[in-house]
Amino acid sequence: MQLTLGPVLYNWQPDDWRDFHFRIADEAEVDTVVLGETVCSKRAPFFAEHLPAVAERLSAAGKRVLLGSAILISLPRERRQAAELAESGAFMVEANDLTCLRYLQGKPHAVGPFVNVYNEATAAWLAERGARRLSLPPELPMASIRTIAGTLPAVTVEVFAFGRVPLAISARCYHARLHGLAKDNCRFVCENDPDGLPVRTLDGDGFLAVNGVQTLSHTCADLLGEAVALAGAGVAALRLSPQRCDMVAVARVFRDVLDGRCDAAEGHRALARLYPDVPFANGFVHGTAGAGMVA
Amino acid sequence: MQPAGSVVPQVPAPIAAALRPLPLLLLRPPLAMLAVRIRDRHPELFERLGPHAAKRFGLDPTDLPFAFVLEPRPAAPSVTPVRQLPRDLDVRIAGPLGALLGMVDGAFDGDALFFSRSLQVEGDMEALLALRNAVDDACIDLRRIALSPLGPAADPLDRAFRRVRAAAGRVAAHRTESRSWN
Amino acid sequence: MELICPAGTPAALKAAVAAGADAVYCGFRDETNARNFPGLNFSRDELRAGIEHAHRGGVRVLVAVNTFPRAGAIEVWHRAVDDAVAAGADALILADLGLLAYAANRHPGQRLHVSVQAAAANPDAIGFYVEAFGVRRVVLPRVLSVPEIAAIVREIDCETEVFVFGGLCVMAEGRCSLSSYATGQSPNMQGVCSPAGHVRYEERDGRMLSRLGRFTINAFGPGEAAGYPTLCKGRFATDLGTGYLFEDPVSLDAASLLPALRDAGVTALKIEGRQRSRAYTERVVGGFRDALAALAAGREIDTAALADLTEGQATTAGAYRKTWR
């Protein structure tokens, strides 16, 4: 079982973003790292200057680099960026929207968790057009994962295993809306919440996290307990989505559990120390409410 | 702000008061007949209800001094009048009689009545939706089913029904401004 | 412009036909379509009879098979496609790539539309569907402004259909797992958003609480207008304040934008609401039939006629009139 570090979904300071990935390159036991601004095209220019150095350092450290495309593409500028990304050719592209797939047809590419792959026929259709990796939608239950992975042994099937789960994308920016700002003049207020802006219910229960145009779960996915079963189902990679915690240590915990150096319960306790105050959840993979934790 | 649902016709208070001493036993035979006649004319309604035909629905016309328990069993459907709804119901629907009848009649949209707070609902929402959708599809002509056996004695009731139908549509809106989208 | 109208039941289909629909859209009574609600939708026999009825009135029927087939049970969705074609559907509304491929291969002559659930939001994504499956029409996501729609129409080789009235998803459709996060059931998989089986209304301190799964998603004061118990229209708390974080309970009403949508080159106008009653269908279809007649005659369009049917008793022109672009 491989480990993939997903793209940073939040608006981190460019230097933090660079240093985070440098450390991942030097220390983290992950096989693949996805780079690129996938949530908001307005943020992309800030990372652009660091991207070549980060990609190079990761590659030099033996990690496979994927470039993630934007999740929601509507502006002409965003379309151009998607087309350029698909044609750049330096690294494999992870398509998060069909916009990009139009340009990737026939080229080896990855399909990200934001493309709707719910069944083996769709997975096979994409594989025929060049998809080598499929990171499945986080809401898929185990039975679907098993069927898809079992049908496509030649494709690297990946499951979202750690991090707040991306649940929705919108044309509307909730960070801007909450701050009473227009989206076009948002002043990048999302940078104040590098781990997402907490959203509670009226009863005060933690519920969601807002990240600009994206809405994520309040809970943090933890599929350590399912890792062995997922491997048995033919899943070839687990995705760890960066949160504001020691992701190098998080990757080590997953590696330890996968390699039998510690059991899932022990790993779970380690994760709780590394990322405290956020409840863990695994409901989606069990076909129940995603916010829940099935023991 | 107008009170919600003020356009849904209300049973006038004096009439409601006059109905208070009415022995519910008197209502039982016509309601039993009504339930059976609806069943005979609209078998598709029960197919649409599916498993929810086994549920117990409380219908509470808030402008009348009594309520009804509906048990839409295909074999033995019943509508039972009660002074007060029992606690062990699957669903409770409360609102002016005009709103409840208007939904059956196709004059009112149930969601709009809910949005305007003319209708209060509690309990098993799946069962409620199934009943609402099944009744809406059945296009039950309550007037004909209920009144035809009564002959000319039904005239005052008939007029009441027509008033509901004539009010068709305009559930009072609180505010109707258009919102900008940002 | 064509008027495309919702039919959750055969009675609503008849009401839509009588009220002046150009086409009606509906689905089977199961998880193959995105309005899989209790007591709603069509059996195979009802669809056949409904299509016959509509065709007699010169009205077309579009059948939505627009959820994403469950892995290992794809044949259920294949059967829905085959049966809709056999029943004489004028078009199929599909979202899943694999299912589009199946329909295009198995029924080469059949007209295919891309569902809003496919979230095809720009000319490249739409072009992808046209090139891969020969789709004839795309239902545009409700995230676009009128100028963006006009730009898309100029650039693509298929017809466009846009929503003009009814429920409004504020998230990109077909890409939202909020419902399954709270309940385990989602629009994409089970064809339900915030499913009724997980909804509870409770009275607390004179307020009506709506609860979804184990979460409180709203509280309405006495007489305050309410909305559907959908997560994106709930009230939530943040450090910056409490209220409608994502969207107010509000319905889309683009009646005032009909001239702009016509000028943008839109082919068809769609009314949301297969879960609504035949009373809703009758009034909304009638209202938009009148609006289109007014548009054709150059008369003023009555934009307030349907407000009482709307969620939260309030309307918005949605993204069509974005203030931030």
Kindly list the domain boundaries of chain B, sorted by start residue: 13-166
Give the pLDDT score at A227. Answer: 96
Residue that wins the pLDDT comparison between B167 and B32:
B32
Give the pLDDT score at C112. Answer: 98
CB contact under 8 A, A125 and C98: yes
Q: Confidence band (pLDDT; 50, 70, 90) for C308?
A: confident
Contacts A182 to B, Cβ<8 Å: 182
> Domain count of chain C?
2
Give the pLDDT score at C312. Answer: 82
Query: What CATH code is carried by the domain that includes residue C146?
Result: 3.20.20.70
Task: Name the residue among C161, C128, C20, C30 with its Cα closest to residue C84.
Answer: C30
Do residue C140 and residue C61 come from a single domain?
Answer: yes
Quick check: A285 and A192 in contact, CB under 8 A?
no
- Give the end of a domain, one of C194, C211, C244: C244
Task: State the average pLDDT over residues B57-84.
Answer: 96
Do residue C152 and residue C230 come from a single domain?
Answer: no
Which of these CATH numbers, 3.40.1080.10, 3.20.20.70, 3.30.1050.10, 1.10.3720.10, describes B13-166?
A: 3.30.1050.10
Buried b (16+ CB within 10 A) or exposed e, A59-76: eeeebbbbbbbbbbbbee
Contacts B181 to A, Cβ<8 Å: 172
Q: What is the C-alpha separation between C30 and C190, in angstroms, rounded? A: 9
Give the pLDDT score at B143. Answer: 79
Is the residue at C51 inside a domain? yes
Q: What is the C-alpha separation between B82 and B69, in angstroms, rounded? A: 7
Give the pLDDT score at B171. Answer: 47
Is residue B168 pLDDT above 70, yes or no?
no
CB pairs below 8 Å between B and C: how many?
A: 162
CB contact under 8 A, C70 and A171: no
Q: Confidence band (pLDDT; 50, 70, 90) for C323?
A: low
Task: State the average pLDDT over residues C21-49.
Answer: 96
Do residue C264 and residue C137 come from a single domain?
Answer: yes
Give the pLDDT score at B31. Answer: 92
Q: Confidence band (pLDDT; 50, 70, 90) for B170?
A: very low
Q: Confidence band (pLDDT; 50, 70, 90) for B179?
A: low
Tell whether B182 is within 8 A of chain A (Cβ).
yes
Do residue C157 and residue C190 come from a single domain?
Answer: no
Contacts A168 to C, Cβ<8 Å: 171-172, 175-178, 232
- Determine the distance from the C-alpha atom of residue C111 to the mean position of all C-alpha atoms in its chain, rounded to a whole number: 19
Half-sphere exposure of C158 (CA within 13 A, CB side): 26
User: Which region among B68-72, B75-79, B102-106 has the lowest average model confidence (pLDDT)?
Assistant: B102-106
Tell whether B181 is within 8 A of chain A (Cβ).
yes
Task: State the average pLDDT over residues B45-68.
Answer: 96
Task: Name the residue among C8, C22, C58 with its Cα closest to residue C292.
Answer: C22
Do residue C86 and residue C221 come from a single domain?
Answer: no
- Give the end of a domain, one of C244, C264, C299: C244
Is residue C181 pLDDT above 80, yes or no?
yes
Q: CB under 8 Å to A39, separation ≥6 — which residues?
A: A9, A10, A70, A71, A169, A211, A212, A213, A214
Do residue C183 and residue C164 come from a single domain?
Answer: no
* H or E, element range at C162: strand C159-166
* H or E, element range at C146: helix C146-155
Q: CB under 8 Å to A174, separation ≥6 — which residues?
A: A197, A210, A212, A213, A215, C245, C246
DSSP tag of A202: T
Do residue C87 and residue C189 come from a single domain?
Answer: no
Q: From start to end of A69-151, where are the E strands?
A: 92-95, 109-111, 131-135
List chains touching B (3+ CB pairs under 8 A): A, C
Show the tokens assigned to B176: 């109707």
Do residue C18 and residue C111 come from a single domain?
Answer: yes
**Contact map slice: A 59-78 vs C, CB within 8 A:** 71-74, 76, 78
Tens digit of pLDDT per residue, chain A (295 long)?
999 999 999 999 999 999 999 999 999 999 999 999 999 999 999 889 999 999 999 999 999 999 999 999 988 999 999 999 988 888 999 999 999 998 998 899 999 999 999 999 999 999 999 999 999 999 999 999 999 999 999 999 999 999 999 999 999 999 999 999 988 889 999 999 999 999 999 999 999 999 999 999 999 999 999 999 999 999 999 999 999 999 999 999 999 999 999 999 999 999 999 999 999 999 999 999 999 999 8
Do residue C48 and residue C115 come from a single domain?
Answer: yes
User: Which region among A120-124, B102-106, B141-145 has the lowest average model confidence (pLDDT)?
Assistant: B141-145
Q: Confidence band (pLDDT; 50, 70, 90) for B161?
A: low
Do residue C72 and residue C156 come from a single domain?
Answer: yes
Q: Confidence band (pLDDT; 50, 70, 90) for B144?
A: confident
Q: What is the C-alpha separation between C226 and A222, in angstroms, rounded? A: 36
List chains touching A (3+ CB pairs under 8 A): B, C
* H or E, element range at B79: strand B78-82
Among all chains, which residue has been given the structure tokens 């203030």? C323
Is residue C324 pLDDT above 80, yes or no?
no
Is residue B173 pLDDT above 60, yes or no?
no
Contacts B125 to C, Cβ<8 Å: 196-197, 199-201
Q: What is the C-alpha separation between A45 and A57, in angstroms, rounded? A: 20
The complex's ipTM?
A: 0.96
Q: Confidence band (pLDDT; 50, 70, 90) for B180?
A: low
Give the pLDDT score at C8. Answer: 97
- Give the end of a domain, one of C213, C244, C275: C244
Do residue C118 and residue C59 come from a single domain?
Answer: yes
Q: Hey, what amino acid is at C267?
A: T
Q: Is the dihedral of CA C230, C232, C238, C243 positive or negative?
A: negative
Is the residue at C115 inside a domain? yes
Is residue B36 pLDDT above 70, yes or no?
yes
Of C220, C307, C322, the CB nearest to B181: C322
Do residue C188 and residue C143 come from a single domain?
Answer: no
Mean pLDDT of chain C: 94
**C5 annotated as belonging to a binding site for a ligand:** no
What is the extent of the structural domain holding C50?
2-168+250-321
Give the pLDDT score at C139. Answer: 98
- The Cα of B88 is separated from the nearest Cα of chain C by a number of Å equal to 16
List of domains in chain A: 2-167+215-286 (3.20.20.330)
Give the pLDDT score at B3. Answer: 36
Quick check: B174 and B1 in contact, CB under 8 A?
yes
pLDDT for C150-180, tens place per residue?
999 999 999 999 999 998 888 999 999 999 9
How many degrees, rounded to 5, is the angle at CA A229 between CA A226 and CA A231? 110
Buried b (16+ CB within 10 A) or exposed e, B58-76: bbbbbbbebbbbbbbeeee
Percent of chain A having pLDDT more than 70? 100
